[in-house]
Amino acid sequence: MKIRTLDDFDVKGKTVLLRVDMNVPIDPDTKQITGNKRIEEVAITTKALDGAKIVIISHQGRVGRDDFVGMENHAKELEKFCGKKVKYVSDVIGTHAQNEIKNMNDNEIILLDNLRLCAEENYEFSLEESAKTLMVQRLKDLFDLFVLDSFPSAHRTHPSLVGFAQVLPTCAGKLVEREVKQLENILTVAKSPFVIILGGSKVDDRLNALKMMIKKERADNVLLTGLIGNVFLRAQGRIKFPLNIKNEDELVSEAHTLIGEYPDVFSTPVDIAVNKYGERSEIDVRDLNKDDQIFDIGQKTLDYYSKMINGAGTIFISGPAGFFEKENFHFGTKSLLESVANSMATSIVSGGHLTFALKKYDLSEKVNHISTAGGALVRYLTGQKLPMIKCLEDAANGNNSKV
Ligand code: 3PG
């Protein structure tokens, strides 16, 4: 794969648009950042851009969700890792943002506001159409170089991810460069059986990708936890009440179809830890009732999943098993990560939550590859070309439309 990197450009005195992924976990009550691993990593690339005027852009959360917040706290957090001032600008594509960019001096860093405040950024575009969006048209002439460094969103085709690459000289940032190299190396030696451990709450994104992974023989056993686990439990008829999540009927029906097509692949929790006034209570899945708050997997599930992990050749784990940030409910996430770290398998740990947890439990040194990407990595493992990689390859081959 041929892509250009920062080594191919002299950035001194240039105005650089740096697309990163600082989409981090946010406490729903306090709105504070609860995991800063993705922010910490951005500093690797800002340091490599020494001497440039750096304008950083990122999305945070999804519109309408608890984690959809502005970027002011991200700027403060990033400042700690960059070792220099990061100015937060409360605008994305308006005249305020444009004037701030025009008035920058060399070596300054500004962070624009949450990209998803801009309606266009919430939609997928074709590569050609993305270049015509208001976002790209308003900002493109302010920059000399576009640096793509947001591997966690490499599967999306939002304007900030694929549009600028059509109209500006473009290269990979340090994180994307590292990620692509390491994954290529790992996947050429990956051995079966492939055990996939999936948790977290992004169910719709995962179902399609799971099907492709199974077809491509990249998922021999799929061990489910978190919300996606609950959806499969519902499809199996082991949870008998509605979960009250968006598009529940469609998701459960898709899960049902997958179980029917691949009956031996999926494993779901046998016991669950529920929240009883802050205390942990483990019960059999069949004893759940609709008022129970499912916060973690139980010991029996962990024992069963650990056996599968011990027999794996390659393990991919993404998404927490429960509310690991809450006292009394970190058991499942922590113990699964420990099992993975202690296994003989080649291990890939993926996603913002788990990379944060890995660091918290001091396990980072014991796994083979850590990626802050979640959904993007799942897609990558299906063998599909990610839009971001396509943009970088096109840019390296001179195939992007207007440069
Ligand atoms: C992620 O966390 O997977 C990326 O930031 C993409 O977020 P999205 O799924 O909301 O597009």
Q: What pLDDT was estimated at residue 49? A: 98
Instruction: Select from 19, 21, 23, 26 the residue to mutate for testing ligand 1; criterion: most ligand atoms less than 8 Å from CB.
Output: 23
- Hey, what are 75's tokens? 């700027």
Atom number in ligand 1 closest to CA 150: 5
- Binding site membership of 375 for ligand 1 (Cβ less than 6 Å): yes
- Hey, what are 45's tokens? 């690339």
User: Which of 193, 168, 132, 180 shows the shortest CA–CA distance to 386?
Assistant: 180
Reply yes or no on whether the pLDDT at 45 is more than 70. Answer: yes
Q: What is the distance in angstroms between the CA of the first residue and the CA of the last residue of the chain? A: 21
- Hey, what are 64's tokens? 């309408």
Mean pLDDT computed over 332-342: 98
- At 356, is the pLDDT very low, low, confident or very high (cuts 50, 70, 90)? confident
- Binding site membership of 153 for ligand 1 (Cβ less than 6 Å): yes
- Binding site membership of 226 for ligand 1 (Cβ less than 6 Å): no
- Binding site membership of 221 for ligand 1 (Cβ less than 6 Å): no
- pLDDT tens readout for residues 198-217: 999 889 888 988 998 999 89
Mean pLDDT computed over 362-389: 91
Distance (Å, rounded) from C-alpha 275 to C-alpha 185? 42
Mean pLDDT computed over 11-24: 97
- Binding site membership of 152 for ligand 1 (Cβ less than 6 Å): yes
Distance (Å, rounded) from C-alpha 176 to C-alpha 89? 25
- Binding site membership of 160 for ligand 1 (Cβ less than 6 Å): no
Q: What pLDDT was estimated at residue 398? A: 86
pTM for the predicted model, two decimal places: 0.84
Distance (Å, rounded) from C-alpha 257 to C-alpha 262? 9
Cα 281 to ligand 1 centre (Å): 32
Distance (Å, rounded) from C-alpha 315 to C-alpha 368? 10
* Least confident interval from 113-127, 262-276, 361-375: 361-375
Reply yes or no on whether the pLDDT at 130 is more than 60. Answer: yes
Reply yes or no on whether the pLDDT at 402 is more than 70. Answer: no
Backbone angles phi, psi at 377, to 5 degrees: -70, -40
- pLDDT tens readout for residues 298-332: 999 999 999 999 999 999 999 999 999 898 999 99
Cα 115 to ligand 1 centre (Å): 12
Residue with tokens 């170089």: 145
Cα 311 to ligand 1 centre (Å): 31
User: Which of 91, 104, 113, 33 shows the shortest CA–CA distance to 66?
Assistant: 33
Instruction: Select from 38, 71, 202, 380 the residue to mutate for testing ligand 1; criterion: most ligand atoms less than 8 Å from CB.
Output: 202
Atom number in ligand 1 closest to CA 373: 3
Distances from the Cα of 10 to the Cα of 7, 61, 141, angstroms: 8, 33, 19
Distances from the Cα of 221 to the Cα of 218, 263, 332, 346, 368, angstroms: 9, 10, 18, 15, 20
Q: What pLDDT was estimated at residue 403? A: 41
- Binding site membership of 157 for ligand 1 (Cβ less than 6 Å): no
Q: What percent of the chain lies above the pLDDT cut of 90?
A: 86
- At 55, is the pLDDT very low, low, confident or very high (cuts 50, 70, 90)? very high
- Hey, what are 216's tokens? 């491509």
Reply yes or no on whether the pLDDT at 401 is more than 70. Answer: no
For residue 112, list its beta bridge partners: 89
Q: What pLDDT was estimated at residue 57? A: 98
Reply yes or no on whether the pLDDT at 240 is more than 60. Answer: yes
Mean pLDDT computed over 160-187: 95
Reply yes or no on whether the pLDDT at 338 is more than 50. Answer: yes
Cα 300 to ligand 1 centre (Å): 31
Mean pLDDT computed over 104-121: 98
Distance (Å, rounded) from C-alpha 278 to C-alpha 293? 10
Scored b (16 or more CB within 10 A) or e, 207-221 reads bebbbbbbeeebbbb
Burial class (CB in 10 A: 0-12, 13-18, 19+), 344: exposed
Distances from the Cα of 175 to the Cα of 43, 170, 265, 394, angstroms: 10, 15, 33, 19
User: Which of 214, 199, 203 shows the shortest CA–CA distance to 351?
Assistant: 199
The answer to whether 373 and 202 have CB atoms below 8 angstroms apart is no
Per residue, the 3-state secondary structure of the chain, as one string, reads CCCCEHHHCCCCCCEEEEEECCCCCECCCCCCECCCHHHHHHHHHHHHCCCCEEEEECCCCCCCCCCCCCCHHHHHHHHHHHCCCEEEECCCCCHHHHHHHHCCCCCCEEEECCHHHCHHHHCCCCHHHHCCCHHHHHHHHHCCEEEEECHHHCCCCCHHHHHHHHHCCEEECHHHHHHHHHHHHHHHHCCCCEEEEECCCCHHHHHHHHHHHHHCCCCCEEEECHHHHHHHHHHCCCCCCCCCCCCHHHHHHHHHHHHHHCCCCEECCCEEEEEECCEEEEEEHHHCCCCCCEEEECHHHHHHHHHHHHCCCEEEEECCCCCCCCCCCCHHHHHHHHHHHHCCCEEEEECHHHHHHHHHCCCHHHCCEEECCCHHHHHHHCCCCCHHHHHHHHHHCCCCCCC
* Least confident interval from 111-125, 223-237, 329-343, 362-376: 362-376
> Which domains does the chain show, CATH number per domain?
6-173+385-396 (3.40.50.1260), 190-372 (3.40.50.1260)
Atom number in ligand 1 closest to CA 156: 11
For the chain, the average pLDDT equals 95
Residue with tokens 């600028």: 164
Mean pLDDT computed over 175-185: 92
Q: What percent of the chain lies above the pLDDT cut of 70?
A: 99
- At 185, is the pLDDT very low, low, confident or very high (cuts 50, 70, 90)? confident
Cα 12 to ligand 1 centre (Å): 31
